[in-house]
């Protein structure tokens, strides 16, 4: 009787803010030979979607659910907010633990830490080494939430890891992954490692030797950013070398993905896609991604199968030997056969998001939504070839690779803000991936169908979790570090949050009017300079 094959080792690598054009096989100015080779020998995902900012992408990966179903549909979880991944969610690593996996996370968490219950080690990871907030210094591990609110943020399990200052985080995290691989027996138990790099998020920092090859790039931010991408490329080389050295590789699945689009002001590039990080244009939500594995049936190809970040949960649970009952009710689909064998994707639709708290579009209304949907609300959905956006999708220009040194960030805001205000856009993404031809007026029939789909999804949404900041989170009150500050026995009260949000609208309106005035003034000044 033959032995049942062991489920594969899963190495899930996520970079932070790496743009669509920030990898060798999409770009001419950033060199990533290791990533290029892994992607070329695996399957490149060229119809793959993520979320426009950090917390939402991570929450959807870990829960397999859209943000509207976890209450995290607005913005990110900020360091002082008493919020985290909802406790009623069974996470991906918890499912893998149930299936016999040893689970480890290294790197950026950004899913809340106000209670110990929120920490990675309480949400399914056997070990954790990394930062809990959204952005830290790559050498000192200092994280600031405002000019006077700074604290140390590097953690080993549930303790502060003070002893690693001065070590570059990309290197430090890679060393930790190699140590996990060296100390584990690949034949005794399957391994799941979530390597969540803080690179290439700001601040733009890297060792000097990575900058030197890019000395010819005129744009200083792009030069530093490219160096950080090269450091990640080298890190992935070291991880894959360790997989081979310690006997994991032949039974492994390596997944590489970014968490959201790039930020051009900070050196990133999503060219030729429209928009940037924080927007629902393709530049914000269309992701870099590939799978490399000896277990793939059809390798060395480009997949156009529609894949979303929520799909990793059921796909990996399926690879781990779990049956479909473990993933019922999720928003993700098992896309392994679509990726490995080239079959059609089971996914036909993606809800990018519905955010009821985002600034309402002044030009939007229920009337402009044909009485079906209030188009002042920020929302976006993809169905088949079609993509609909309502409300304010965010800054929507096409930003070519930056070549001018010291280009003022404010200049990026000139062109697209001058168009007449709209609140509905429709694109055929298959035929127009760069979103240059709005078909909302030509195809009102499609607009109405997709508005009705937004209504359908909105009926299933849970209330937004976006509480006020808690002064008790201040690192100065907690030994100088960002750590949990609320006792597990304290009850959460979300009701007051919504009341405060609603009462505050007059002050916000006044503030937005003054911001609008200064933006117009700034545009005139910059236009004169140009």
Question: Which residue is associated with the tokens 């190495």?
Answer: 11
Measure the CA–CA gap between 184 and 375, rounded to whole angstroms: 53
The pLDDT of residue 95 is 97
Pairing between strand 378-383 and 386-390? antiparallel
Distances (CA, A) of 513 to 191, 269, 383, 504, 518: 53, 31, 35, 15, 9
pLDDT of residue 418: 43
pLDDT digits (tens, 9 = 90+) for 266-303: 999 999 999 999 999 999 999 999 999 999 999 999 99
Determine phi and psi for 28, rounding to 5 degrees.
Answer: -105, -15
What confidence tier does 401 reach under pLDDT thresholds 50, 70, 90?
A: confident
Which one is catalytic: 26, 74, 104, 110?
Answer: 110
E strands in 56-189? 102-107, 127-130, 142-144, 150-152, 155-156, 159-160
Task: Report H helices in 71-136.
Answer: 92-98
What pLDDT does residue 508 have?
A: 41
Task: Please give the domain boundaries of the chain with CATH numbers for all domains.
Answer: 9-347 (3.40.720.10), 350-460 (3.30.1120.10)
Q: pLDDT (tens digit, 9 = 90+) per residue, 138-164? A: 999 999 998 889 999 999 999 999 999
Question: Is residue 502 pLDDT above 90, yes or no?
Answer: no
Hey, how many other C-beta atoms are within 10 angstroms of the C-beta on 154? 24
What is the rounded distance in angstroms from the CA atom of residue 402 to the CA atom of residue 194? 32
Q: To the nearest whole percent, how much of the chain has pLDDT over 90?
A: 82
pLDDT at 180: 98
Catalytic residue among 26, 54, 118, 292: 54
Least trusted range by pLDDT, from 196-210, 332-346, 500-514: 500-514
Identify the pLDDT of residue 384: 96
Rounded CA separation 340/253 (Å): 11
- Return the pLDDT at 218: 84
Proportion of the chain above pLDDT 70, given as a percent:
88
Can you tell me the distance from the alpha carbon of 452 to that of 381, in angstroms, rounded to the nearest whole number?
11
Whether pLDDT at 518 is above 90: no
Element (H, E) at 316: helix 312-319
Contact 390, 380 (CB under 8 A): yes
Q: Strand pairing of 386-390 and 142-144?
A: unpaired
Establish whether 54 is a catalytic residue: yes
Three-state SS at 387: strand
Residue 497, C-beta contacts closer than 8 angstroms, at least 6 positions apart: 465, 466, 467, 468
Over 70: is that where the pLDDT of 507 sits?
Answer: no
Residues 450-481 as b/e (b if ≥16 CB within 10 A, e otherwise) read bbebbeebeeebeebbbbeeeeebbbeebeeb
Q: In this structure, are residues 482 and 79 in contact, taking their beta carbons and an 8 Å threshold?
A: yes
pLDDT range class, residue 4, cuts 50, 70, 90: low
Active site residue 118: no
Token reading at 416: 């697209």
Write down the pLDDT at residue 3. Answer: 54
Mean of the per-residue pLDDT values of the chain: 90
**Considering the entire predicted model, what is its pTM?**
0.91
* Range scoring the smallest mean pLDDT among 232-236, 389-393, 408-412, 450-454: 408-412
- What confidence tier does 325 reach under pLDDT thresholds 50, 70, 90? confident
Run of H or E including 428: strand 424-428
For residue 267, what pLDDT is reported? 93
pLDDT at 493: 63
What H or E segment, with its residue span, contains residue 317?
helix 312-319
Q: Report whether pLDDT(523) > 50.
A: no
Predicted pLDDT at 491: 72
pLDDT of residue 327: 85
Q: Which residue has the higher pLDDT, 454 or 28?
A: 454
Q: How confident is residue 182, by pLDDT bands cut at 50, 70 and 90?
A: very high
């Amino acid at each position: 009787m033959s032995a049942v094959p062991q489920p594969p080792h899963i190495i899930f690598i996520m970079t932070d803010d790496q743009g669509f054009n920030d990898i060798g096989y999409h770009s001419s100015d950033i060199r990533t030979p290791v990533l290029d080779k892994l992607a070329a020998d695996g399957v490149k995902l060229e119809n793959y979607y993520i979320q426009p900012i950090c917390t939402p992408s991570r929450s959807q990966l870990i829960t397999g659910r859209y943000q509207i179903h976890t209450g995290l549909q607005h913005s990110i979880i900020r360091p002082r907010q008493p919020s985290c991944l909802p406790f009623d969610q069974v996470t991906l690593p918890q499912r893998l633990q149930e299936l016999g996996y040893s689970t480890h996370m290294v790197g950026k968490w950004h899913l809340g830490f106000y209670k110990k219950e929120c920490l990675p080690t309480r949400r399914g990871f056997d070990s954790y080494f990394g930062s809990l907030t959204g952005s830290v210094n790559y050498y000192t591990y200092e994280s600031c939430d405002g000019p006077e609110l700074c604290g140390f943020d590097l953690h080993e399990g549930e303790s502060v890891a003070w002893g690693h200052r001065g070590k570059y985080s990309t290197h430090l995290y890679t060393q930790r992954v190699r140590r996990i691989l060296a100390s584990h027996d690949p034949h005794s138990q399957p391994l799941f490692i979530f390597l969540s790099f803080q690179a290439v998020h700001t601040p733009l920092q890297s060792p000097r030797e990575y900058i030197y090859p890019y000395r010819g790039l005129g744009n200083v931010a792009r030069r530093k950013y490219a160096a950080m991408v090269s450091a990640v490329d080298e890190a992935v080389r070291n991880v894959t070398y360790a997989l081979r050295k310690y006997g994991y590789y032949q039974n492994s699945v390596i997944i590489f993905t970014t968490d959201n689009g790039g930020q051009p002001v900070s050196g990133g590039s999503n060219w030729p896609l429209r928009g940037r990080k924080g927007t629902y244009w393709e530049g914000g939500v269309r992701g870099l991604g590939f799978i490399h594995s000896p277990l793939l049936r059809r390798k060395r190809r480009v997949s156009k199968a529609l894949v979303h970040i929520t799909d990793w949960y059921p796909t990996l649970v399926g690879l781990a030997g779990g049956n479909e009952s473990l993933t019922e009710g999720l928003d993700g689909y098992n896309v392994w056969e679509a990726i490995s064998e080239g079959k059609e994707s089971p996914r036909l639709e993606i809800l990018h998001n519905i955010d009821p708290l985002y600034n309402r579009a002044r030009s939007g209304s229920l009337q402009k939504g044909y009485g079906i949907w209030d188009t002042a609300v920020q929302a976006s959905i993809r169905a088949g070839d079609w993509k609909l956006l309502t409300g304010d999708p965010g800054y929507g220009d096409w930003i070519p690779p930056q070549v001018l040194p010291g280009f003022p960030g404010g200049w990026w805001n000139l062109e697209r803000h001058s168009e007449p205000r709209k609140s509905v856009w429709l694109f055929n993404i298959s035929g127009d991936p760069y979103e240059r031809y709005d078909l909302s007026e030509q195809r009102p029939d499609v607009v109405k169908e997709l508005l009705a789909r937004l209504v359908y999804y909105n009926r299933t949404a849970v209330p937004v979790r976006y509480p006020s900041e808690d002064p008790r989170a201040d690192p100065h009150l907690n030994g100088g570090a960002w750590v949990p500050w609320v006792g597990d026995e304290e009850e959460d009260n979300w009701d007051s949050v919504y009341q405060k949000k609603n009462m505050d609208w007059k002050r916000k309106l006044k503030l937005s009017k003054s911001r609008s005035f200064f933006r117009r003034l700034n545009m005139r000044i910059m236009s004169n300079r140009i």
